Structure 1
Amino acid sequence: MDLSNAPSIPFSEAGRLSALLDLEILDTPAERDFDELTRLAATALGVASSAISLIDKDRQWFKARHGIPFTETPRDVAFCNSAVASRDLLVVPDATLDERFSSNPLVSQEGGIRFYAGAPLIATSGHCLGALCVFDPVAREGLTEAQRAMLMDLARLATDLIECRRLRNMGEIAARVVDATSDAVVAADRKGTVVYWNPAAERIFGRSREDALGRHVDMIIPARLAKDYREMFERATAGGGRGDLGGFVEMAGLRADSSEFPIEISLARWGSGSPVGGFAAIIRDITARKAVEREREHTQSFLDTVVTNLPAMLFVKDTQTRQYLMVNQAGEDAIGRPASEIIGHTDRELFPRNGADYERRDSETIASGSAKVFESEFIRDDGQSVHFRTIRKVIDGPDRPGQYLLGISEDVTATRLAEAEVLRLAHYDSLTGLLNRTSFTDGLYGLVRKGEPFAMLSIDLDRFKAINDQFGHPVGDVVLSQVADRLSEAVPQEGWVARIGGDEFIVFLTGAQLRERADELASSILNSLADPFPTDRVVAHVGASIGIVLMPQDGSTTEQLRENVDLALYRAKRMGKGKACFFNPEMDADAQDRRKLETELREAVERDEIDLAYQPIFSARTGQITSAEALARWTHPDRGPIRPDIFISVAEECGLIDRLGEQLLRRACCAAQSWPDHVRVAVNLSPLQFHSGRLIETVRRAIDSSGIRANRLQLEVTEGLVIQDVDRTFQQLEELRALGIQVLIDDFGVGYSSLSCFQRFPFDKVKIDKSFVDEIATSRTAKAIVQAVVGLGSALGMGVVAEGIETEEQMRLLIEGGCTHLQGYLLSKPVSAHVFQQMLARPHNFGIKATRAA
């Protein structure tokens, strides 16, 4: 394509986007010609990746791509956006050295773009649609003149493909429309020989396509009118006689059986000149319309009397043909069509969706012989819904008794809308439009009462509270609405969706093979909800957990089913985020056992039986004990030792965590008071202790009652805590710091917080999670993360504690890496308060200095 003569137009982003939309190429499936072109560009220029990039309003979308795993990017990171702006070849030898692109995430990520070249796609309209781009993770000198010319040639070829594709599609659409139209479409060459004859022409003139093609157009003209018709056709072919072009002219047509009938004909030229070209005609059979017009003339005096000053919609139909004979002005306004489009047609012709039902009501009225009242919803052509209350009555006409069906319709839309809104508020959720909790309960009872098998999926969103806390409820509402849309799309016709709580949804599925279909549906929902949720402010990430029960296998009453689906959901959450779990009887046994364990834990807390063990933390520089982490321990008289992760989670769930936390904090402070003055005690805090509002007072009482100096108490918080109710959390951490207490961040590296938390609060120490320590000797990634955390701690003046050390090699690497403190079974397991007191009495370094020396 030669664009040397393409118009040079002033830049208009609106015009450019309009030109791009007119091509109807965005979000279309892959096409071989485009894919081969991108592969050719990558091969010819020796790069890893290439693409035909189209720049939409807010994104860059790839019509074809080679060596690129994704189909689009935000526009603000697209290199091709610069090529579009410049409308010239853009070459970036090394993006990391180019201030326009060096901070671009497509450049800064691992394996990011180093070399880039993009040639603009200039359409014949003069607008730039995007670019043919090539790029590579390796920088290069640039492009030779031959390569630059090749890339520009390939871009012109890509633009040709785009525009030819549009023309090809338009031709296909036009051909289908002409074949489907009810009007005859006939084309003839300059000599009058028929060269095109559509299916409607076959039907109207009674001649097959094979019979018509190649014959003179005179065959559709009555002999008495042949001379006048030929002159009209010749003027149309030559371009003269505007009265014969564009509009419709009433004529007489001739069928194959020699019968004449009224037609409307409109002519247009085709082709650009001799010997190519001729005329085309659109021809309509207006026999039925003419008959209706004659009938209308006979009844005009009657209609004038009926419609005078009538404010309601009034219509009259013929009781035999069911065709409309009259519709007044109020009727035109109500239906949204002029009377000319209604009269002479039946309800089946006018309203394909509901016409049969309207005719059934007419038949009931005709058969009854008395007035009948009906009410229905009518959808206008503009999509507006109108509710009519219609009285139908048969009346006599001038030709026969019961000739006409008279209808008077009252618009009751406002009344019905008000009633529908009351009903909607009673049964549907106002935010999402899904069924509400009341409808869910009624539906569940109904299915159980009928004994109909079904699957019930209980869906609980993950991390939704964090979204509300961080970004506010308006963003949360947008996310909930999008969740509802995705659930509605995922659930088949045999199911329905309800929102029963803030971020809780229920899906019902009926039919056969419920287990298999419920499993597939759960996977589909989890995949759908794992995708990002774009909002005006942020892109949110949620995810979900799903519990599933089957009726009647998992319960035959609503109470059993709801209890069991909650157990399945609870198990899904314990399995990790983004999981689905079917109920099984073992869950019920687990739940009973857990309820019993909760009762026993309450008794143990009441008797203050939860003890502490102390795991020493050593200085990497001196090898001496500097502090100890207080770890909760519970030895059950029958069950034996209960794992902390089990009884702590039970305490959090049943509301015991505040009291248990207060007991353990007081016990740890009292024990530490007897230790040497330089040895501190570290106590873990549950996130729920921050929510109660009593944490600061609890800590202050523990310090006061034990007599320990506040700076000898260390409180450990998990990384995940800092994203929950951010402002309130950091406010409480500041209050704890004001008391003189040290604050540590635990399990760093495995949560969801960002480095911005260190800007909000200066932690005293950061503890590297055991998972990185386990792999430091075998994983470059783990080692790099440890080094990064150590560097961060050094720069911010924080101590760095490595926990979970189990081998000499781990300890050596952590010391060499710069960790300031060490903790783990290699050095000491958690011990009782008495044993720890003995360890403090005999100075030793547990081999740490020897390791440093080695």
Structure 2
Amino acid sequence: MAHDVQEWSSGSRWAAHHTPTRWIAAIGALLLIIIISVTAWAVLATRDRALHNGERELSNTALILTRHLDREFEDLLSDQRDISTLLGAGALNFQLGAKSVHEILRSKASGIGEFELFDAVGMQVNSSRAWVGATLSQQQFPPAEQLKPIAGRKSSIGLIRDAVTTNWIIVLSRPITDQDGTLIGTIVRRIPASLYETFFSSVALGEQAALALFLDDSALVARYPEAHDSIGKVFRFGSLEQLFRDGSMTFQSPSPFDGSLRLAVSRPLKHVPLLLVASRSIPAILTDWRKQTELLLSIAAALAIVISLVLSMFARRLLQQHKETQYRLKMDKKRLDVAVNNMSHGLTMFDAAGRLEVFNQPYLDIYGLSSEVVKPGITFEEIVAHFREIGGEEEPLQQYFEFVASHKDQKGTVEVSFSDGKSVLITRQIISEGGLVTTHEDITHRKKAQERIAHLAHFDELTGLPNRTSFRDHLNAAFASLKDSNPLALLYIDVDEFKTVNDTLGHPIGDQLLKAIADRLESCLRHDDYIARLGGDEFAIVLHDQHSAHQIGNFAKMVHAAVRDTYDCDGHAISSDVSIGIAIAPQHGSDPNQLISHADMALYAAKSDGRRTFRFFEPEMDITARAKHELAVELRRAVADRAFDIHFQPLVDLATGQISGCEALLRWHHPTRGAISPAEFIPLAEEIGLIEELGEWVLAESCREAATWPSHMTVAVNVSPIQFKRQTFALNVALAVARAGLGAHRLELEITEALLLRDNDTTLATLTELRNIGIKIALDDFGTGYSSLSYLHRFPIDKIKIDKSFVARLTDEQSSLTIIQAIVQIAASGDRITLAEGVETSEQRDLLKKIGCTQMQGYLFSPALRTEDLNRLISSGQVPDNAPPPSAEHSTDELRAAAAT
């Protein structure tokens, strides 16, 4: 059917070049150069870093050791000075073998060498060695030529070889003079050089490390590893010449002991002419570096191989793609012919002379043209004539003709509409050769969908009433023409207890009820009034030309009367009602937002008054709303800052009279408002979405505190139904118990009967999950709400809490006593605990104990206590018979309101 299609350009520009592989080779070479350069740099850098680290370790070791040796030699010299002073002053007897002198020398020796005392002519007269009468073994007096004076001191130091043992000895010598300066003797300390070899061996320096101690004249004193043959030898030669000249330095040099190239650090001692040298073999220092180098070279080689393989594969892929592209271009031309005749839009192409070159079947179908008449070569005028012959409408035909015939614009679009509702969108494009291409799209279904979308954007799909967007537009327009003589009233309407219908009968029944209520509301309107559904179970009515509150009130009563009639929804007879909030403009609002806000406040007041009524806006409502908003802001800040306290009210076991647990009660002491009742901030926290965060904190803190109590005590924590709705609630409770280190059996979660009304299957599943991990469940305020014995049968309840309203009338009303007896018997039959709340007199306690109640809680025993007060009470091991009466700050009502949910 298609006559011809323009030829496509064959081949792509890049395929004309034969150099892609050259570029790939160049890129590969560059990458390899980069890899080699980076690897070489990394190898050198890591080597320098390894040497630097080795130098730092040696330097630190040398510094630590020289400080240690300096302190030791300072002590040795100090001991010599003290003994010399005592002997020189005549305080001690300088006679041969004087025992008092021996004791002094022995006490000063301290295990580091021995003292020997010589007289003025070099005869030994005493020693720190073991005392054996008056006979002393004769020790060699150190020759003066082998000693070096110690700068700034009277002492000298030297290295000599013991004539008997042939061991090397470090000698510290100090002359003893009397008060006139006359030499009367010499005190000598002999320290085995092997002591320092042993000391050096205890220092861990790593593989192939060494420590050596030299006299500053280069004589070796001690070394580890041992070099006994070299002790006493002079090493002032080669590169070591500078070492003994400069003292403190870092250098690399072949070792005179084993010939290995070593990195060495030298440090001179401060108090004696000794030099410490710490060294390590450079190959040992570079051991880790060699492993890193091998790894780097392996990685670099692997990377180079991978890059080479990838680039090689890429080059082959490019060549293959070039061949495939050429093939695809040929196939695309063939597919184009098929596509033209299978596209959803109609297509025509006319040449510069106005003759048809290309068209497709959808074009013929859209206009009902015959393929016998419309053929390649036919002119546009002949197509128009054919359209008239088959009875085509003149008006859309004229639009089509004028649009195609006009060449004013290069490109243009026109929508042609037919009397049967069909719409066609025509697009014209003039091509470079002077011809013309047109496309024709049947947009009938699209237009209907757009109209549907436009309707849904402004109207509620369920009731057909205008939606919130339309309502705002209407109210804005009404305010634009508002005059004092032409007031309007806004009624905000909320269906009472609609959620109960949805929860109990299902959403389809709820939808039917909403539609029926909308019809009845609409039936109450006059021709110029307006109604909209704002969403959910909320409606709004705008009354025009209502001049008095009395008229508006009558209208509200009429709405109530209309809505209250019973509804038949799929066989269910449903009674319903509404709460209405009313605001009048301009009296209650000078702009739409203010009027809506005030109507919403009035609706809230109507619902607070018990629903099923209407309320006009009053200025006090705005004040109340602002105060509530301020409190909400402060509550958010308090939750973020954890500005709350948790008090604990003891639960007393009636059988033993001991505290069996405590109930956690939340307190908020505002810095300026003082104590704020939980009955005020707990419902607000639920309303503004803070109760989950607050509840999790209370649970965690209560578990943490309870973990410090005696193991038999439990902690009871109230849970909001909002917390309970979360699928992760049981997991959060388990985490809180685990983090606190509290046994799961010591936690009780208190729930209300209202929670059991909601989604029984989900509630049962969550309660079962909690019970499986050991958590106890307590049913709070039993008997005051929608109590049902089926709860006790169906749900896993461990404890029943008897409401304080029954306990308060226990001694005065027989009915309260009967109810409590029944509850206790029911609980006992199911092996459940019963706890009476609000016990304030001993008469109540005795009667409850008599009828078998298990536990009690109330001011007879104790109010809610701070943590420190509770700990004192627990430590005392006693429970008071009469606690102080409830104060204004901690009333019984407030204690229970802390758990209000």
Task: Name the TM-score class by shorter chain.
Answer: 0.3 to 0.5
Structure with the bigger RCO (C-alpha within 8 Å, sep 6+) is: 2
Higher alpha-carbon Rg: 2
State the TM-score, normalizing by the size of structure 1: 0.46
State the TM-score, normalizing by the size of structure 2: 0.44
